[in-house]
């Protein structure tokens, strides 16, 4: 294949070189065509088939190589062969040439481009597979878009060659007919502007609306095809505008928005209002982390000029505080609040019977059936439990079961093994260690927090180890065993088995979307690791949407809420206009101490995607407020477009990193650069000044050299 590429590339270079070296373009001008028109007409009268074949071959070559002169050749087709033969020859020759150009681009460039830009092109490829012919038709109908650029671009995608050919044949037909017809009046033309007038180009641009109409018709036909199996099941009237399944972060926001726009909405929850975040995730973990941080601050009081003290623990009192925090926040997510907002809240297990019917097995007994125009699935996710021999025998905890178990204990178990080096594992490992436990964290990979840059992983590892966590990377869990009364995790490291005793084992190896139990299987809605949706969060069934962990790609409470807005608006108003989810600036934070937070690209992702970037870094050791708080460790790292202040991503490691990140989230969301951050007044002394200092670092690395030279001369002149 490489040899073929080189041969094709060499042939292209030779042909193009000869074309320009011999100035063959001089024969493809309007003056040259008008001067030779009579001669071509006479030759055509004598040898029509030979001239047609020669013209066809010449046109294919010009179209294939995107040589200047295709428009003139089209005029020549009308001038020499007349409208009928001219249109026939040009139409097929241009489509064939475009397809050959498409193939050449695919042969020479596609593999390289797809490999280098795999991630950003994944969405484009998916869109091309769904409706590539419509995109191509839209472009072909608007002649102001250079056709050679269309050929090149489409060759880099996964569009089928036959689809490219027939759409090109159809899409270029109208423009071809205009130029061929103009060629019949060749003697009256003074320039190509006589053919491609602004009015004519405007008319063609209006043709671009045609694919939008076709797309709507196509979407309607697709809906009919999807709904065919339920023909006759669609009710004439509906009980609800929307039924939302799941009352976690996504479901609550979805129900709230629907009620706010006066839709009749039912929210169904099978367990507890507020979902995992309130009861077993964000809220209890952050409450525990705060208590653990205070305990560590007491031990390190000497850093603040105070006598250190070992905290005395009343573990039931500590867990009582955690439960109280949950109880204080619970009214925000309660049945009473949402009922007052106009939401019909039903507690039970929902099953989707067909696209318009949801059956609910009520907690109090019995069932309820509701018909609805649309459905939003916000079923969330569950912890992944690894398949380890002996795991059930020794017992284990997950983020779902941890808090109920801790609430029954008189004291924190002494020895913990935390399996997993992601955010949950890191946060809880540090908290348990700060509360006095012996914690061993086991991670199969070579570092913690695999999605972060190496220096961030190292920063977190150092913080955990400073608090007493034994961090074991490159340790693969093999099995669990009992040795007498001692529970053991057996892990493999460098070919040797390592035996790790524990009192409690916490599995924190990830979470998986809840995909079963509410009817997806019967509906035939495609799932992988998540429910498959398009970029508007619509599933295969047009009136069913998904949001939150069940939809992916992020497993974050705030993203679930963000998606819920789009899913709800599209579910209620998508027949008129559907909105694509905006993931332009999604913040992420891991609440270890010091915290780490990120938005946009980090260096690892930029390199993987082939995105060029510059790095600006500011160390918190130079920040006055951080020094005053004895928290002068960490950094702000910003990625920008080379030579420009446009922000590609920002990573912060240090005290209150998640709070400081908000400025970069705002900047990226609204297209503000480092210059705007530098020009914003920040209170002194605050940690937020770190962002301004980082912007100052960027400015010093990009001084306006020319302006500074002029200013130097200006001041020299002023001094006399």
| 587: enclosing H helix or E strand | strand 587-590
Q: Which residue has the higher pLDDT, 438 or 110?
A: 438
Which residues face 285 on adjacent strands? Answer: none
The whole-number pLDDT of residue 179 equals 67
The whole-number pLDDT of residue 198 equals 55
Question: What beta strand segments (E) does 168-263 contain?
Answer: 240-245
- In degrees, rounded to 5, the angle at the alpha carbon of residue 510 between the alpha carbons of residues 506 and 516 is 110
Cβ atoms of residues 355 and 375 within 8 Å: yes
The whole-number pLDDT of residue 200 equals 45
The whole-number pLDDT of residue 120 equals 60
The conformation of residue 488, written as its DSSP 8-state character, comes to E
| Sequence-separated (6 or more) residues with CB below 8 Å from residue 83 | 177, 180, 181, 184
The whole-number pLDDT of residue 187 equals 43
pLDDT at residue 209 greater than cutoff 90: no
**pLDDT, tens digit, 9 for 90 and up, residues 498-513:** 999 999 999 999 999 9
Domains of the chain: 2-216 (no CATH), 240-273+334-382+513-573 (3.50.50.60), 391-510 (3.50.50.60), 587-705 (3.30.390.30)
- When pLDDT is averaged across residues 518-546 and rounded to a whole number, the result is 91
The whole-number pLDDT of residue 192 equals 47
pLDDT band at 203 (very low <50, low <70, confident <90, very high): very low
Q: Which residue has the higher pLDDT, 70 or 670?
A: 670
pLDDT band at 189 (very low <50, low <70, confident <90, very high): very low
pLDDT at residue 492 greater than cutoff 90: yes
The whole-number pLDDT of residue 496 equals 95
pLDDT at residue 134 greater than cutoff 90: no
- When pLDDT is averaged across residues 234-261 and rounded to a whole number, the result is 96
The conformation of residue 228, written as its DSSP 8-state character, comes to G
pLDDT at residue 258 greater than cutoff 60: yes
- When pLDDT is averaged across residues 126-130 and rounded to a whole number, the result is 67
Give the global pTM: 0.76
- When pLDDT is averaged across residues 171-176 and rounded to a whole number, the result is 74
- When pLDDT is averaged across residues 132-145 and rounded to a whole number, the result is 66
Report d(CA 718, CA 720) in Å as an integer. 5
Q: Which residue has the higher pLDDT, 96 or 472?
A: 472
pLDDT band at 188 (very low <50, low <70, confident <90, very high): very low
The whole-number pLDDT of residue 184 equals 64
The whole-number pLDDT of residue 215 equals 63
Residue 127, sorted as left (phi over 0), alpha (psi -120 to 50) or beta, turns out to be alpha
Mean residue pLDDT of the chain comes to 87
- When pLDDT is averaged across residues 436-454 and rounded to a whole number, the result is 96
Q: Which residue has the higher pLDDT, 581 or 707?
A: 581
The whole-number pLDDT of residue 144 equals 57
The whole-number pLDDT of residue 707 equals 85
**pLDDT, tens digit, 9 for 90 and up, residues 668-689:** 999 999 999 999 999 999 999 9
The whole-number pLDDT of residue 59 equals 78
- How is residue 491 written in tokens? 């892990």
pLDDT at residue 106 greater than cutoff 50: yes
The whole-number pLDDT of residue 210 equals 54
**% residues pLDDT > 90 (the chain):** 62
Report d(CA 585, CA 583) in Å as an integer. 6
- When pLDDT is averaged across residues 328-351 and rounded to a whole number, the result is 95
| 377: enclosing H helix or E strand | strand 367-377
Compute how many other C-beta atoms are within 10 angstroms of the C-beta atom of residue 680: 14
Nearest to 55 by CA among 42, 74, 82, 27: 74
Lowest mean pLDDT of 150-159, 304-313, 576-585, name the range. 150-159
| Sequence-separated (6 or more) residues with CB below 8 Å from residue 288 | 318, 322, 428, 431, 435
Compute how many other C-beta atoms are within 10 angstroms of the C-beta atom of residue 523: 20
- When pLDDT is averaged across residues 614-619 and rounded to a whole number, the result is 97
pLDDT at residue 713 greater than cutoff 90: no
The whole-number pLDDT of residue 239 equals 96
pLDDT at residue 426 greater than cutoff 70: yes
The whole-number pLDDT of residue 156 equals 77
- When pLDDT is averaged across residues 455-463 and rounded to a whole number, the result is 97
- When pLDDT is averaged across residues 260-276 and rounded to a whole number, the result is 95
Cβ atoms of residues 531 and 550 within 8 Å: yes
pLDDT at residue 207 greater than cutoff 70: no
pLDDT at residue 206 greater than cutoff 50: no
**pLDDT, tens digit, 9 for 90 and up, residues 273-292:** 999 999 999 999 999 999 99
Residue 211 dihedral angles phi and psi, to the nearest 5°:
-60, -30
**pLDDT, tens digit, 9 for 90 and up, residues 4-43:** 666 666 766 676 566 566 555 555 554 555 566 566 667 7
- How is residue 656 written in tokens? 């209150």
Please report, for residues 246, 327, 650, 705, the alpha-carbon distance to residue 714 in angstroms, rounded to integers and kept in the order given.
68, 67, 38, 14
- When pLDDT is averaged across residues 418-435 and rounded to a whole number, the result is 97
pLDDT at residue 343 greater than cutoff 70: yes
Nearest to 308 by CA among 298, 295, 318: 298
pLDDT at residue 704 greater than cutoff 90: no
């Amino acid at each position: 294949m490489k040899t073929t590429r080189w041969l094709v590339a060499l042939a292209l270079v030779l042909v193009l070189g000869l074309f320009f070296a011999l100035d063959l373009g001089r024969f493809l001008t309007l003056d040259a065509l008008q001067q030779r028109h009579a001669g071509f007409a006479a030759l055509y009268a004598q040898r029509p088939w030979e001239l047609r074949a020669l013209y066809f071959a010449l046109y294919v070559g010009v179209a294939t190589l995107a040589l200047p002169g295709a428009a003139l050749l089209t005029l020549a087709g009308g001038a020499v062969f007349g409208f009928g033969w001219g249109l026939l020859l040009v139409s097929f020759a241009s489509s064939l040439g475009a397809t050959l150009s498409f193939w050449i681009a695919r042969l020479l460039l596609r593999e390289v481009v797809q490999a280098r830009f795999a991630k950003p092109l994944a969405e484009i490829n998916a869109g091309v597979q769904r409706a590539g012919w419509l995109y191509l038709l839209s472009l072909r109908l608007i002649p102001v878009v250079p056709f050679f650029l269309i050929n090149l671009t489409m060759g880099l995608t996964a569009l089928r060659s036959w689809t490219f050919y027939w759409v090109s044949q159809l899409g270029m037909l109208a423009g071809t007919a205009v130029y061929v017809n103009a060629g019949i009046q060749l003697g009256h033309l003074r320039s190509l502007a006589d053919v491609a007038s602004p009015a004519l180009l405007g008319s063609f641009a209006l043709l671009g609306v045609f694919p939008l109409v076709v797309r709507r018709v196509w979407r309607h036909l697709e809906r009919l095809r999807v709904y065919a199996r339920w023909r006759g099941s669609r009710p004439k009237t509906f009980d609800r505008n929307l039924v939302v399944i799941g009352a976690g972060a996504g479901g609550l926001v979805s129900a709230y928005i629907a009620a706010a726009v006066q839709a009749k909405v039912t929210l169904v929850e099978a367990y507890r209002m507020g979902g995992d975040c309130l009861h077993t995730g964000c809220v209890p973990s952050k409450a525990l982390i705060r208590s653990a941080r205070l305990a560590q601050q007491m031990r390190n009081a000497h850093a603040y000029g105070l006598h250190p003290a070992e905290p005395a623990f009343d573990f039931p009192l500590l867990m009582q505080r955690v439960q109280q925090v949950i109880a204080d926040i619970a009214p925000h997510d309660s049945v009473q609040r949402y009922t007052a907002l106009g939401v019909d809240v039903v507690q039970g297990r929902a099953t989707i019977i067909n696209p318009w019917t949801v059956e609910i097995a009520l907690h109090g007994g019995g069932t309820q059936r509701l018909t609805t125009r649309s459905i939003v699935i916000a079923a969330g996710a569950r912890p992944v439990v690894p398949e380890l021999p002996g795991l059930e025998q020794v017992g284990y905890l997950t983020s779902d079961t941890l808090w109920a178990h801790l609430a029954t204990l008189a004291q924190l178990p002494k020895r913990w093994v935390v399996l997993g080096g992601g955010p949950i594992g890191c946060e809880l490992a540090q908290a348990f260690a700060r509360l006095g436990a012996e914690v061993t964290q086991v991670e199969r990979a070579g570092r913690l927090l695999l999605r972060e840059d190496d220096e961030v992983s190292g920063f977190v590892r150092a913080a955990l180890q400073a608090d007493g966590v034994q961090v074991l990377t490159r340790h693969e869990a093999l099995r669990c065993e009992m040795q007498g009364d001692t529970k053991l995790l057996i892990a493999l490291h460098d070919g040797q088995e390592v035996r790790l005793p524990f009192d409690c084992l916490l599995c924190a190896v990830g979470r998986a979307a809840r995909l079963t139990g509410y009817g997806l299987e019967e509906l035939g809605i495609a799932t992988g690791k998540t429910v498959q949706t398009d970029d508007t969060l619509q599933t295969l069934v047009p009136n069913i949407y998904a949001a939150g962990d069940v939809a992916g790609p992020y497993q974050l409470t705030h993203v679930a809420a963000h998606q819920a807005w789009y899913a709800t608006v599209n579910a209620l108003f998508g027949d008129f206009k559907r909105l694509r989810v905006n993931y332009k600036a999604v913040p992420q934070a891991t609440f270890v101490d010091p915290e780490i937070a990120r938005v946009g690209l980090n260096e690892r992702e930029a390199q993987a995607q082939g995105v060029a970037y510059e790095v600006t870094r500011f160390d918190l050791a130079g920040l006055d407020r951080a020094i005053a708080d004895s928290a002068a460790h960490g950094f702000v790292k910003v990625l920008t477009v080379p030579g420009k202040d446009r922000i590609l991503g920002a990573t912060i490691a240090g005290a209150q990193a998640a709070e400081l990140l908000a400025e970069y989230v705002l900047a990226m969301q609204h297209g503000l650069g480092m210059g705007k951050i530098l020009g914003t007044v920040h209170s002194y002394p605050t940690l937020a000044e770190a962002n301004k200092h980082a912007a100052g670092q960027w400015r010093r690395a990009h001084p306006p050299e020319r302006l500074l030279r002029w200013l130097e001369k200006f001041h020299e002149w002023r001094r006399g």
